[in-house]
Amino acid sequence: MKKLTKALVFNLILIVMIFSAGNILREKWEYKSDQYKFRYEKMKDFSNSDTKTLFLGSSGSFTAINQAKIFENSGIPVFSLAHNLQSPFASYHLFEDYIKENKDVKLLFQDILGLTREVNPNIEHHETNFFYALTAIDNKKGYIQGLKNEFDKDYTKGYYIPILKYHDRWNRLKKEDFFEIEDKEEITSFQVKKVKPVNFTPEYMKYDKNFKKSEVGEKYLTKIINLAKSNDIEVILYILPKMDYTLNEIEEYHKFAKKHNLKIIDFTSEKLYTQLGIDTKTDFYDNAHLNYNGGKKISKYFANYISTNYPEYKENISNETKQLFEKEIEIINRKYEK
């Protein structure tokens, strides 16, 4: 009996070690999936009718859309479900999962970058980013099956038993792989204070003869629009500032919006770029992402846009919601307004 008990304990410890080692070995980005899960669940489980506005998008949205600053400038609560390399595939599943439990959403702002920038889990450094949504949503089986159907590969083992996929990464580990990222207390997206003067790339706003839009991206952006319509949710598309857009891309974004009869907010337009005072010397941390300072300008614009066009979203906000977002403002200002 003692031998059996020892064997069971040994095997249990071995299983725990294998799974722990797998999570350490798994390819990671600066913002980890378990941290995203914490924030997503906190937003999804915040059950009241006050939050009527959602944002979806990739890393550009992740750094530019500051929920605390939008509330500070408008008094209107919004939630951003953006994360690094969020494909329209992941956006669709997050959106579907969120609105199942939150029936009061009336407005969705959708980043349209995925129409032209392919994010494919079959590319190794992309795969982990598909796990952000997977760790957060309820229908994990359906999500993995969707990945298999769409990208012709089974990701079950890579997600549930990561050591089978990442076992050869042992000699590339960094100290960050062994620790969780701190500061889980707030739901506002990770902000970057780093400032890097940037320049427009040579291909900026020029035609690319090899341009090709993403068929998968278009498919899932369309599914998002259709899902929103069936739930009486208005969709507004947006294009964030980046230094490497081709003219093909901008034209494709506007054609897509026109095809679906949707509004599109284009922050690359000369009018908005000038109006917001976007500065390439102070508002970016690389060619593709705004920093905290640039994000404040984008967030203030959205605050004004929502409060002007949807003033009713500010009415009868509960004390519970006010307390949540006032705490967000205090945390963000303490961390970044130094």
Residue 30 has pLDDT above 50, yes or no: no
Q: May I ask the CATH class of domain 1-37+51-337?
A: alpha beta
Distances (CA, A) of 337 to 71, 295, 330: 16, 13, 10
Give the pLDDT of residue 45. Answer: 87
Instruction: Read off the pLDDT band of 1 (50, 70, 90).
Output: low
Quick one: how far is CA 36 from the chain centroid?
9
Cα(186)–Cα(38) distance, rounded to whole angstroms? 10
CA 241/CA 282 separation, integer angstroms = 13
Q: List 239's β-bridge partners, or say none.
A: 266
Q: What is the pLDDT of residue 125?
A: 73
Domain boundaries, given as residue ranges, for the chain: 1-37+51-337
Model confidence at 31, in pLDDT bands (50, 70, 90)?
very low
Classify each residue of 305-319 as buried b or exposed e, where b means 16 or more C-beta atoms within 10 Å of its C-beta.
bbbeebeebeeebee
User: Regarding predicted confidence, which is higher, 175 or 48?
Assistant: 48
Average of per-residue pLDDT across 60-87: 94
Q: Is the per-residue pLDDT at 6 higher than 80?
A: no
What tokens does 313 get?
Answer: 């979203």
CA dist 284 and 34 (Å) reads 27
- Backbone φ, ψ for residue 68 (5° rounding): -65, -40
